[in-house]
Structure 1
Amino acid sequence: MWQSVGLTVLVIVATLICALLFMLFGWYVVWQLFLSKFKFLRELVGDAGTPQAESQPSEPKSERTAGVPTRNRPRSARQRVTFTESAS
């Protein structure tokens, strides 16, 4: 009788350990492939030294977007004709 109780406890403990290891492995894979790319989640976990954070350029946001004109994009011929017709 005590052997069957001991075996049952052993099976339950082994099952819980396997489930915990599976969850930890899954978290590690998902972290490496997807979640570590979000700065907010890295700050929550306390992982500030990831390679993604160190490899990003350290220039301010205003300097990165200064070279890209957003308002002065070239217009197609149709847009220019429509614009000149509506102006007259």
Structure 2
Amino acid sequence: MGGVCQGVPVPALAPASPVAILGTGAHRPGVVVTSDELDAAHGRRPGESRARSGVEVRRWARSEETSSSWRPRRSLGRSRRQD
């Protein structure tokens, strides 16, 4: 059975299945690009990119990298649960 929230009909929801977050991860791409390098590449005054963005160093993925390619084997190995 649905309901109403601030005059707007709200559909009924099915019971939720229990879930658990087993882990999280992070990856930093290997290509490091500084603001000074960006300034030189784009003909800007030294320090201009950093002054405008506040960012000193960026990390860029290589063209062959995708988020799904970042360490999947290692992550899968760590996710194995002992039942």
Which TM bucket (shorter chain)? under 0.3
Q: Taking structure 1 as the reference length, what is the TM-score of the superposition?
A: 0.21
Q: Which has the higher contact order (CA 8 A, sep 6+)?
A: 2
TM-score (normalised: structure 2):
0.22
